[in-house]
């Protein structure tokens, strides 16, 4: 056995070589910056003379777990910026994107936001996906007097003076669907979700809405984020005999839940699943067989058959790849760039303060959806449709609801005394 043991000298030699090697590689890698090649160096402050480009921050995860969702959001933003520049920019000034990758890390997102606001002095930032990332950077935007355009659907209960929420807020997202499902699927509802504030708020809102229409929530069951074993929950669901499932499980749990649901013998004809957080991207991992027949409400579906959506998909795929899917968050990112351009145009000035002042009332056309308008409460009107999954793991639109105004503090969820006047400073 002793001949197999390396001597101390051998180990030290090897360890030393390894350490040297790692440091060398590490310093090489960090020398390559994380900014996109399209940024120019030495550019000027956003509010200086006409003709100078307007710097716009683009802050998404391009690596790590969240990159699977956020890379397309960055791509769609870049597509919109290119289109805006191709038609001459805003007031004769081109938009200059400054792209930062926050690597799915909620500490790095703060650093990158700080860099964009304090060093690059961008006019505004389009970015963030998970609520945790938005919450983390709120102080940077509020204290730095800058603007964040947040293009992801979220639970509400917020209305920062320095954020424009360009996608759906929970009550706006779910109200018509909640009423629809009670009308068409049944009155006994079993709720499942991932255990954090987003799904918890979604479930609370849907519970209030369905109870208004005489339905009952049999159970509200939450799971840790990494849970992929749902057999026990399915046994409990079977025993409860619901008419439908309301589902806000996120991430890796969604495919696990829906596949095990089907394997356990549940069918969408008898017990359909209505999901709150399941875009085409999540559905691809579920697969057509297990997904077919279940529902999801959204302000955008890839299958929407309008000329402007076909054109959008075609332009996106021409730039980023033939089979690239489109979905709600990247459509909202694309629209955010146009909303920003319209606000700068309206303000006549590309400083964050002027842009924020100009935003309420600004509109843009969201492809495959229609006109969206920013409200005084910094949220955006939207048109939501209800989609039903088909066997290609895409959604067919089965009903299009009337446009809805956004309410981040719906009555009945927050006590009346706690409903603030929006917008307000969220951090002190």
Partner 1 sequence: MLTQIIAQGLSVGAVLALSALGLTVIYGVMGVVNLAHGEFVMLGAYSMAVLSEPLGPWAAIALTPLIVGAIGLVVDRGLIRWLYQNPVKSMLGTFGLGIVIRQLVLIAEGPGLRYVDLPITSSVAILGEQLPVWRLLLIALAVVTGVLVALWLSRSAAGLKVRIATVDADVASALGTNVSRVNALAFGLGTALAGLAGALVAPLNSVYPNMGVSYLVGAFLVVILAGLGSIRNALLWAAGVGLVTSAVAVPQDDVLAQVVVWTLALVIVALRRQTLVVSRV
For binding to partner 1 (CB under 8 A), which residues are involved?
1, 4, 6, 64-65, 67-68, 195, 221-224, 226-229, 231-233, 235-236, 238-239, 251-256, 259-260, 262-265, 282, 284-287, 289-290
Closest CB to partner 1 among residues 247, 309: 247
Comparing CB distances to partner 1, the nearer of 138 and 233 is 233
CB of 224 to partner 1, least distance (A): 6
Query: Nearer Cβ to partner 1, position 121 or 259?
Result: 259
Asked if residue 419 has a cis previous peptide bond (ω within 30° of 0), the answer is no
Q: How far is the CB of 296 from partner 1 (least distance, A)?
A: 17
Q: Could you tell me the two tokens for 93?
A: 């000034």
Contact 141, 117 (CB under 8 A): yes
| Both structure tokens of 360 | 């309420």
Residue 305: how many other CB atoms lie within 10 Å: 9
Considering only CA atoms, which of 53, 62, 74, 75 is closest in space to residue 121?
Answer: 53
Looking at the Cβ atoms of 106 and 401, the one nearer to partner 1 is 106
187 versus 238: smaller Cβ distance to partner 1: 238
Residue placing its CB nearer to partner 1 in the complex, 34 or 65? 65
DSSP per-residue string spanning 157-178? S--BTTEEE-S-BHHHHHHHHH
Q: Residue 21 CB, nearest distance to partner 1 (Å)?
A: 14
CB of 227 to partner 1, least distance (A): 6
Secondary structure class of 392 (helix, strand, coil): coil
Query: Residue 170 forms beta bridges with which residues?
Result: none
Q: How far is the CB of 232 from partner 1 (least distance, A)?
A: 3
Long-range Cβ contact pairs of 204-207 (< 8 A, separation 24 or more)? 204/413, 205/155, 205/170, 205/171, 205/174, 205/178, 205/410, 205/413, 206/174, 206/178, 206/246, 206/276
User: What is the nearest approach in angstroms of partner 1 to the Cβ of residue 37?
Assistant: 21
- Closest contact distance (angstroms) between CB of 221 and partner 1 is 6
Query: Taking Cα atoms as reference points, which of 283, 276, 229 lies closest to residue 249?
Result: 276
Closest to partner 1 by CB, 154 vs 266, is 266
Between 180 and 230, whose beta carbon lies closer to partner 1? Answer: 230
For the chain, how long is the longest CA-to-CA vector?
80
Enter the tokens of residue 416: 């009346």
Structure-derived torsion over alpha carbons of residues 14, 16, 22, 24, reported in degrees to the nearest 10: -130
Q: How far is the CB of 302 from partner 1 (least distance, A)?
A: 17
First to last CA, the chain: 65
């Amino acid at each position: 056995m002793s001949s197999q043991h390396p001597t101390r000298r051998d180990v030290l030699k090897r360890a030393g070589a390894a350490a040297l090697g790692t440091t060398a590689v590490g310093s090489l890698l960090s020398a390559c910056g994380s900014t996109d090649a399209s940024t120019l160096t030495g550019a000027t402050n956003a509010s200086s003379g006409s003709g100078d480009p307007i710097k716009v921050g683009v802050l998404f995860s391009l690596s790590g777990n969240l990159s699977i969702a956020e890379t397309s959001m960055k791509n769609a933003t870049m597509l919109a910026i290119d289109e805006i520049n191709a038609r001459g920019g805003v007031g004769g000034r081109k938009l200059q994107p400054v792209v930062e990758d926050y690597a799915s890390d909620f500490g790095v997102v703060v650093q990158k936001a700080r860099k964009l606001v304090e060093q690059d002095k961008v006019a505004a930032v389009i970015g963030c996906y998970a609520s945790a990332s938005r919450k983390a950077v709120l102080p940077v935007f509020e204290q730095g007097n800058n603007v964040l355009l947040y293009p992801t659907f979220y639970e509400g209960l917020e209305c920062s003076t320095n954020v424009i929420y360009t996608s759906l807020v929970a009550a706006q997202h779910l109200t018509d669907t909640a009423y629809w499902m009670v009308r068409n699927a049944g009155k006994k509802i079993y709720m499942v979700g991932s255990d954090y504030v987003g799904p918890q708020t979604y479930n609370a809102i849907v519970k209030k809405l369905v109870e208004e229409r005489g339905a009952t929530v049999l159970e509200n069951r939450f799971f840790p984020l990494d849970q992929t074993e749902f057999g026990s929950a399915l046994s409990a669901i079977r025993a409860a005999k619901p008419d439908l499932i309301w589902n806000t499980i996120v991430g890796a749990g969604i495919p696990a839940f829906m596949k095990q649901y089907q394997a356990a013998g549940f069918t969408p004809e008898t017990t359909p699943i209505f999901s709150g957080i399941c875009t085409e991207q999540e559905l691809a991992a579920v697969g057509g067989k297990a997904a077919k027949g279940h529902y999801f409400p959204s302000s955008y579906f890839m299958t929407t058959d309008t000329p402007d959506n076909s054109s959008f998909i075609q332009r996106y795929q021409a730039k980023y790849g033939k089979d690239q899917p489109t979905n709600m968050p990247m459509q909202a990112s694309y629209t955010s760039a146009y909303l920003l351009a319209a606000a700068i145009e309206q303000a006549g000035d590309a400083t964050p303060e002027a842009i924020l002042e100009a935003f309420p009332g600004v509109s843009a056309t969201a492809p495959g959806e229609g006109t969206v308008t920013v409200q005084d409460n910094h949220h955006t009107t939207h048109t939501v449709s209800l989609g039903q999954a088909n066997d290609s793991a895409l959604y067919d639109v089965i009903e299009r609801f009337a446009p809805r105004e956004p309410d981040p503090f719906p009555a009945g969820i927050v006590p009346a005394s706690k409903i603030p006047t929006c917008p307000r400073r969220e951090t002190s």
